[in-house]
Structures are given as C-alpha cells and as structure tokens.
Amino acid sequence: MNSKLAKIIIVFLLAFFTGVNFVVFPALGTAFTDSSLFGLLSSQFGNLFIPQVICIIISCLGAPFLVNKWGPKVVLAIGLLLMIISTGVLWTLQFFINDSSLLFPVLMILVAFTGSGFGLCITTLNPLAASLFENNKSSAILILQFLVGLGTSTAPLMMNLIGNVRNWMYVPGCIFILVSMAFTAFLLLKLEKETFFELPGHFKIPPKLWLFFVTIVLYGCTEGTFGSFGAIILKNQGLDNNKASLGLSLFWGGMALNRLLFGIFSKNKDLSYLFLFSPLIVAGLLLFLLLYPNVNSIVLMMFLIGFFMGSIFPGSIGWGTVEFPTLSVVVSGYLMAANQVGTGIITNVLGSLSNQTNIIFQFLIVCMILICLLLFYLKRNSKIKEAF
C-alpha cells in the first residue's frame, strides 16, 4: 500500500493504539494490587512506573538518531513490536500468577518494554503525521495527539467493561490482538526515508529549542500533578470518590476536546494568541480554585483547566516542527522527553506533598505564568502564524 490515504489512516490508527497500549499497566492497577491475584504492595505498584519513565525519556532522545539512520518504518516497527511483546507476555502471566517471586521483576521488564515502545512510536509518529500534511503540520500533530489521548482513556474503559477484576487478562489479550492487526497493516505500507526525517551532518540544538524544552518540562509538572494525583487533590478539596473520578475524567476529556478543536480550526483561523494566552487562563482558573474552593464548581474548573492546557504540549511540538524543519524528529523526541522529565520530577516530589493542596496550586500557578512568559519570548521573530 502506497496511497497517501492508506498512510494517513494507518498512522493515525497507530497513534490511537499507542495511547491504548501506553496505559495498560495503570488500567490494571486494581488487578496488580489485589491480594488474590498479583498481590503487589502499593509501593511496588508505584515503583513499576520508574522504568517506564526512564525508558520513555531514553527512547524519545534516541529515536531521532535511529530514524535518521534506519528510517521511520524500521523504528516504528521496533516500537510496535516492543509493545506487542509486552502485552502478549502480560496476558500469559495468568498462568504463572502463583509464582510471586518472579511476578514483580517480570512486570518491571514489561513496563520498560512498553515505555521504550511508546517513546520510539510517538517520537516517530509526530513528524510522520506532519509530513503527510505539509501545509498543516501543527494541525496534524494536534489531531494525532488527540487520538493518543483518546487511546489512553480506552484501556481504563475496557477494564470497567469486563467488570470482575479476575477477568483482567482480557484487557492485554484484546490490546495484543488489535495492535498486532494494526502492525500487520503497517508492514504493508511503503514508507521511504524522506528528507523530512534526515538530520544535518553536524548540528547542535538551537538555544530557542532548549527554551521549548524548559517550557514543556514545566508543562509536564502540571500535567503530571493532575494525571498522577488529581483524584487525591480533588478529594482533599471535599469531593467524594465518584466526583473526584468524574473531575479527573473531565480534565482529560477537556484536554482531548481542545486538541481536536485546535487541529480542526487552526487550518482556517489564527489561533496563535489563544495558544499563547492559554497558560495564563489556566493560572487564572487555578487561582480561582485556590481563593474559592467551592465543591460545586471544582468539577467544571477541572474541565476548563484540561481544555486550556490541551493545546500547549502538542501545539509546542507543531510550532517547533515548523520553526525547525530540518530537526523535526529531534523536536518531537526532545519535547516528548521533556514532558516525561517534568512528570517524573513532580510524581516523586508530590508523594509527600499530595495533601498540601494550596502549596500545589501555588506552584502550578507559577509554572503556568512562566510557561506563558516563555511562549511570548519564543514568539519573537518566529513562525507561530504558520503553526496556528
């Protein structure tokens, strides 16, 4: 298959399944901590994600150079295979669940495989999507990230649908089959090693790109706060378990909706100032929560915070891709790694501060103001109008 339509369909389908695969381990948290199944301690379950974050950062930083050497098809194939192996082996653990001494080390390895596969895939898919829409690179990346986000919400939904936690094996089993089918279709594609993926013979990271990196580390701190500790923070604000879960779902839903709308409307509308002011709007919403912690308004605020945060990360990748066309894969890899660095930092720090809601909100407000200032600084003599 070499038609552009086939490439577009399969590339965006792979983005969705990459998102699904990425959260299979968090989605199975209840099974992993169930004493009658895997029996992991809460601390062990938390430690599972250390290799995932490390492997994502390493693979995101290494992927640009691998794509430059081998081309996007080989790197994507390796990433997909790592994720397929991870879910396949995870499914087989149902037969060895009584051998508790091996379970945790095996799970650590599988999580590392998932993280490495995710990093290789997503770093390559971002510029690949941009290359298929030469005149709408940023929109393509925003919609691709929307599909990744949609995928991350699917695995927990699958866990809810199967009902009994003892049926956990159906989740990795279904994902294994679906990703294997998408992988087979992908192998039929002809993806050449185009100039879009080639790096200059000798290059150094431009100072402006380092500023993008710092911006996304700060963004990763904010996203990681809500992603990892959102439910705990909401419960500290007076919400019950159901409303806390609803607030967290609305946060991710708002983020996904923003990416979709930005991807659709930035083709014809100038959304650059909405993008630039989004962090400031988020800071304002957080300040409102800090000053008026009203239980009835928190859930709505979570949706709005997610909505106005939605375009910051993929929009920065799209903008950076337009700004540095010869380094498009480096932009994707380094900013993906930056997001994980921010997430990794905040999840380690917040472990002891998760009950200090006011301090957390104050820190996030400062992060958002700094992001806004950095984006306006980056706007000077830039190609932001082409990106949005």
pLDDT of residue 284: 93
Phi, psi (degrees; rounded to nearest 5) at 354: -60, -20
How many of the other CB atoms lie within 10 Å of CB of 299? 18
Same fold flag, 4-196 and 207-387: yes
Statement: residue 259 has pLDDT above 60: yes
Token representation of residue 307: 């909505």
d(C-alpha 177, C-alpha 24), whole Å:
14
- In the predicted structure, residue 195 carries a pLDDT above the cut 70: no
Q: What is the mean pLDDT of the chain?
A: 83
Distance CA 58, CA 122 (A): 13
- Check residue 350 and give its pLDDT: 64
What percent of the chain has a predicted confidence (pLDDT) above 90? 22
Structure confidence at residue 34 (pLDDT): 78
Average pLDDT over residues 301-308: 88
| DSSP string for 146-192 | HHHHHHHHHHHHHHHHH-SGGGTTHHHHHHHHHHHHHHHHHHTS---
Q: Residue 132 carries which side chain, given as an amino acid letter?
A: L
Q: What is the pLDDT of residues 88-132, one digit of tens each?
A: 998 988 887 666 667 888 889 999 999 999 999 988 898 888 888
Alpha helices (H) in 188-326, listed in sequence order:
207-236, 241-265, 272-291, 295-309, 312-323
With CA atoms as reference, report the closest residue to 328 among 76, 133, 130: 130
Q: Is 382 helix (H, G, I), strand (E, B) or coil?
A: coil
DSSP 200: P
Indicate the CATH number for domain 4-196: 1.20.1250.20
**Domain range annotation of the chain:** 4-196, 207-387
219-251: pLDDT as tens digits: 998 888 877 666 667 767 777 766 766 777 778
Q: Decide: 225 and 348 in contact? Cβ < 8 Å.
A: no
Q: How many CB atoms lie within 10 A of CB 157?
A: 10
Mean pLDDT over 45-73 rounds to 85
Compute the average pLDDT of residues 289-297.
Answer: 78
pLDDT value for 357: 73
Gap between the Cα atoms of 63 and 308, Å rounded:
29
Distance CA 262, CA 293 (A): 30
- Eight-class DSSP state of 95: G
Task: Write out pLDDT tens, residues 13-34.
Answer: 999 999 888 878 877 777 777 7
pTM for the model stands at 0.81
The rounded distance, in Å, linking the Cα atoms of 14 and 179 is 8
Q: Which amino acid is at 340?
A: Q
CATH code at 207-387: 1.20.1250.20
Predicted confidence at residue 296, as pLDDT, reads 73
CA atoms within 13 A on the CB side of 232: 16
